[in-house]
Chain A
Amino acid sequence: MTALSLKDLDISYGDTQITHKVSLDIAEGESFALVGESGSGKSTVLKAIAGLAPRWTGEIHVLGKARGHGVDRDFSRVCQMVFQDPYGSLHPRKTVDATLGEALTIHGIGDRSARVEEVMGSVGLDRKFRFRFPHQLSGGQRQRVAIARALILKPKILLLDEPTSALDVSVQAEILNLLKRLRREQNLTFLMVTHNLPVVSFLCDRLAVMRQGRIVEVAGVDELKRGNLKEPYSRELMQISAAHAT
């Protein structure tokens, strides 16, 4: 079954059209990457799926159900998002406990204390962090909190917006390992936006290369590992990352 299906998606901000006829099918349990440079529209696609960029035409289906334009409660139990900047995605005046418990309150889920500790455990956060404020946490710990917040409603699909690009490499490795393990354990579907091809190679099964609002190429990650991407633009991106990695 397809977890996410986009058809002819045209997203606009104001008068500017950001994406042109984006179509994608992502299977349940798959880890899919949207790759491109800034301005390619990759993050905008993610926002439209999440309901944060409501001006679009075309179709978005999530687990077979057509998606409306705004943010809605039922959708939030199926699909959640992790943002790029761990410093900007946590409310500065709320403790970890309050941030994580908020979702439970909204959805009227009881057993708050146990659920919060359970989700903290699953993202590798020690109990002692539970009542800390974001400014008392490191970047990696904050990103773990953000992932925990996304997981506490037990969604099926996780949208990841450059989840490790603001982190140090050693912390990036920890978060990537965590994401990989969570996907395996909870059978999650990932849609990740990134500019970092090696991260795609580590975490994803398939990728789509985007440029100026259009999908240039969709390929399996093995093609990427073997350097077999077909389109000239994809090859260019690949060469730049390969040149860096010597």
Chain B
Amino acid sequence: MATLRDWLIDDSPASPMQARLGRFYRIFGALMHNPLAVIGAIIIVALILAALFAPWLATHDPLRQALAERLLPPSAAHWMGTDELGRDIWSRVVYGARITLVIVALVAVLAAPAGLVIGVISGYFGGWVDRILMGITDIFLSLPKLILALAFVAALGPGIENAIIAIAITSWPGYARVARAETLTFKNSEFIAAVRLLGASSLRVNLGHVLPLCTSSMIIRVTLDMAGIILTAAGLGFIGLGAQPPLPEWGAMISRGRSFILDQWWVATMPGFAIILVSLGFCFLGDGLRDVLDPKSGEQR
């Protein structure tokens, strides 16, 4: 172990690979010094593990109904109790992690790159390109996220896929704004001027030099937004426009547990806990990442 660590923190790496890994190791090390970030990371890792190993972690089939065991309180047999159709809530929460993870991952994969590319193009070229792209962005930004998502889902029809598309459509403008602002600060820097003087095309300057600098703030922003995305997805599920029954989506589960909140509190509370926990996890991790990755701090550590 000691030799691997020495290799990673070597001041004079012998290959690009070692340099890159060394950089990640230093970022990772700095992140590990931030207790909240560690808690956040643990929660996110737990979410991913729960999603991956759901069949083994779940004690019951999440969809199997057992009307004889309706609305049972938490016990050794049903760790989080059962819902109004006798389904095991623990198993449903565990399987729900898969849905949440898919939503979060797909939104990140769809919205972040779109926002990044639009923002960088807008910032780098400026002029009328900037005006048109930012005009569109502002229109999207001026509408409340949930309402806009609602409108899209209403138009596209309810369902988890449409909910994902709707959330992605409503979240890219924020990323475009961040990427544009970053691009504007880097565009006139000397190191960008220097690559241009080497004869690099606009495409190369943007893809190879400007974009990598915007990614860290993008990662931070996306991580911090995850909580909002989960909440929007849960909100859509709650009003019945997101995941459809019998899918164990957390928002939809809360919605169904609403009627029993006073007598059978666990039905709505357990998935609620899951949402809060995962949202908090993303927020903690995002804050930690911001401290570590902030391009303005220049990684002076």
Direct contact of A and B (CB under 8 A): yes
Q: Which residues from chain A sit less than 8 Å from chain B, CB to CB?
A: 50-52, 71-77, 80-81, 83-85, 88-95, 97-98, 102-103, 106-107, 128-129, 131-133, 135-136, 146, 149, 153
B29 to chain A, nearest CB (A): 15
Give the chain A neighbours of B142 by CB distance below 8 A.
none
Are B19 and A71 in contact (CB-based, < 8 A)? no
Give the chain B neighbours of A73 by CB distance below 8 A.
199
- Contact partner of B213 among A52, A92, A98, A128, CB < 8 A? A92
Interface hub of B12, B13, B23, B199 (most chain A Cβ within 10 A): B199
Report the Cα distance A76→B201, complex, angstroms. Answer: 12
6 smallest A-B Cβ distances: which pairs? A128-B12, A76-B199, A73-B199, A131-B19, A131-B13, A89-B190
B209 to chain A, nearest CB (A): 6
Give the chain B neighbours of A102 by CB distance below 8 A.
195, 198, 200, 208
A7 to chain B, nearest CB (A): 23
Report the Cα distance A107→B199, complex, angstroms. Answer: 8
B66 to chain A, nearest CB (A): 56
Q: B299 within 8 Å of A by Cβ? A: yes
Give the chain A neighbours of B212 by CB distance below 8 A.
93
- Contact partner of A106 among B15, B199, B298, CB < 8 A? B199
Q: B191 within 8 Å of A by Cβ? A: yes
9 contacting pairs across A/B (C-beta < 8 A): A51-B197, A71-B197, A72-B199, A80-B198, A91-B191, A102-B198, A103-B199, A131-B12, A135-B299
Chain B minimum-CB-distance residue to A74: B199
Q: Contacts A73-B199, A95-B13 given; 15 further ones with Cβ under 8 A?
A: A50-B193, A71-B197, A71-B199, A76-B199, A80-B198, A81-B193, A91-B191, A91-B195, A92-B295, A95-B16, A98-B16, A102-B195, A102-B198, A131-B16, A149-B198
Number of interface residues of B (CB under 8 A): 29
Are A71 and B196 in contact (CB-based, < 8 A)? yes
Interface hub of B23, B200, B212, B300 (most chain A Cβ within 10 A): B200
Are A93 and B213 in contact (CB-based, < 8 A)? yes
Report the Cα distance A36→B198, complex, angstroms. Answer: 28
Give the chain A neighbours of B13 by CB distance below 8 A.
95, 131-132
Chain A minimum-CB-distance residue to B212: A93
Report the Cα distance A85→B189, complex, angstroms. Answer: 10
Interface residues of B in 193-218 (CB under 8 A from A): 193-200, 204, 208-209, 212-213
Are B194 and A76 in contact (CB-based, < 8 A)? no
Chain A minimum-CB-distance residue to B301: A135
Are B19 and A83 in contact (CB-based, < 8 A)? no
Give the chain B neighbours of A76 by CB distance below 8 A.
197-199
Report the Cα distance A90→B209, complex, angstroms. Answer: 11
Given contacts A131-B13, A131-B14, contact A52 B193 (CB under 8 A): yes
Given contacts A98-B16, A133-B19, contact A83 B190 (CB under 8 A): yes
Give the chain A neighbours of B263 by CB distance below 8 A.
none
Are B298 and A135 in contact (CB-based, < 8 A)? yes
Given contacts A92-B295, A93-B212, A133-B23, contact A52 B197 (CB under 8 A): yes
